[in-house]
Structure 1
Amino acid sequence: MDFENRPSPQLTPVAAVQFQEGIFLVLSRWTSLQMAVAEEWGGPTSRKKSEDLVVRIFSMFAQSKETLHVNDLEDFLDEFMVSNFSAELEDGSIEEVAEKLMIMHGECAEGNFSTINDLKATNLVSSSVSYRRQEVCGEEEDDIDSDVDSDSVVDGENDLLGKDSSDMAVDSFAQQTCMDQREMMVDEPVAGITTEDGWTVVSSRKRNGKKT
């Protein structure tokens, strides 16, 4: 979409609040940024840096006295990732994020918050799925513990070493099963969000220096 000659429209107070939330939602789906935060490419303050990025992007739109072009936003995002995370991205995600933000800002200026509402709805679905998986994992642990206690009573096991070894084996299996499910819980919502929002799955590489 061509943004080159489009001036940056002003937002109403309500639209400004919506847009700032929309920025956060878009960045939370930016795989390259979230990887940089999770792996602390920017050091122990990596998460704080990602939060600051939301404010700085919003300020670019709100305080710019001249037309804000999509290329300006791309350059800013590129410089931010290099200077704060030593990450030079060549996966096309910067251009994709910049375009989404430009479109979203234009929609907010028109009082159209449908894109933001869709992102919110997707967030709710993902959170619900994650919570359900945690709940199921907890129930399975309880069931396993109950089975172990019941078997011990029926068998009348008096050998403490044998009982401890059996309990440790069952507990280890339960913990591993739960950990495996939690790992799936972390990975699967990201893939789901990517599909529903039409995002291109991106990869990122950590490098030093700026993009030439």
Structure 2
Amino acid sequence: MAASNGGGGPISAEAAAALGEGIRLVFGRWTALQMAVENQWGGRDSRAKADQFGESIHSWFCRSRGPHYFEDLVDMMYDTISDSFNADFEDNSVEEVAEQLLIIHEECLQSNYSSIEKLRNSHVQGNAVSQSRQIAADDDDSDSSDDDDGASMMEDEAAAAPEEMLVDRPRPSRPAPDADGWTVVPPRHGGRSRGRN
């Protein structure tokens, strides 16, 4: 394999066009990004923001002199996702996409378009948006279960001690503040038993 584009030589028009197509193909299959667009996380112009995102990465590869570092690309992508879609993709997809884009760029510099060809040929098989819907449904289940865990734990506590909540017990009179304005709060009764299962 040839050396990395450490020199950052100019990219040919053919390679630049192929790189642009490669970026579009990768972005079209990037589930988290397609979810952000479909659900309009970036507002009504989410599609345009995603297109601009791809163009800015294309420009970064084609106009900035190398070397092009993985960390720089990842940082730029996270910043754009945060700014454009008010989101933070925590599924490691940013790193995966960045790695794929760097490989495609490297291949384009060598007039090797095999990765783009593979994407082009396999693009028909997978539809990122329908995959997104499936993953979104799975994520909703896991997210809601995370949220529900907290809620169900509270519900379990409430269900475990309904007598405490429903039975009218005489409440101790509220302690009066002392001369300095401090109020001594008595310990809660029954607080220890909640920790045991």
Q: State the TM-score, normalized to the length of structure 2.
A: 0.61
Secondary structure, in 3 states, of the residue corresponding to 1:124?
Answer: coil
Distance 1:39 1:59 in 2: 26
User: What is the identity, as a one-letter code, of the residue corresponding to 1:17?
Assistant: A
| Structure 1 contact 32–203 (Cα < 8 Å) conserved | no
Deviates further, 92-101 or 60-69: 60-69
Greater relative contact order (CA < 8 Å, ≥ 6 in sequence)? 1
In the alignment, structure 2 segments of 5+ residues that lack a partner are 144-197
In the alignment, structure 1 segments of 5+ residues that lack a partner are 128-185, 192-201, 206-212
Once the two structures are superposed, the pairs formed by residues 42-81 of structure 1 within 5 Å of their partners are 42-81=42-81
C-alpha displacement at 1:8, in angstroms?
3.6
Distance 2:35 2:104 in 1: 24
- Aligned match of 1:41: 41
- Aligned match of 2:113: 113
C-alpha displacement at 1:67, in angstroms?
2.1
- Aligned match of 1:26: 26
Residues 2-29 of structure 1, C-alpha deviations (whole Å, 9 max, x = no match): x999444432111111110000000111
Residues 33 and 188 of structure 1, relative CA distance in 2, 3 Å threshold: closer
| Structure 1 contact 74–95 (Cα < 8 Å) conserved | yes
Residues matched between the structures, number: 136
User: What is the identity, as a one-letter code, of the residue corresponding to 2:87?
Assistant: A
- Aligned match of 2:91: 91
C-alpha displacement at 1:88, in angstroms?
1.1
Distance 2:132 2:87 in 1: 25
| Structure 1 contact 70–102 (Cα < 8 Å) conserved | yes
User: What is the identity, as a one-letter code, of the residue corresponding to 1:18?
Assistant: A
CA RMSD across the alignment: 3.0
Distance 2:110 2:71 in 1: 22
Identity of aligned residues (%): 36
Q: State the TM-score, normalized to the length of structure 1.
A: 0.57
User: What is the identity, as a one-letter code, of the residue corresponding to 1:31?
Assistant: T
Distance 2:29 2:126 in 1: 12
C-alpha displacement at 1:89, in angstroms?
1.7
CA radius of gyration, larger in: 2
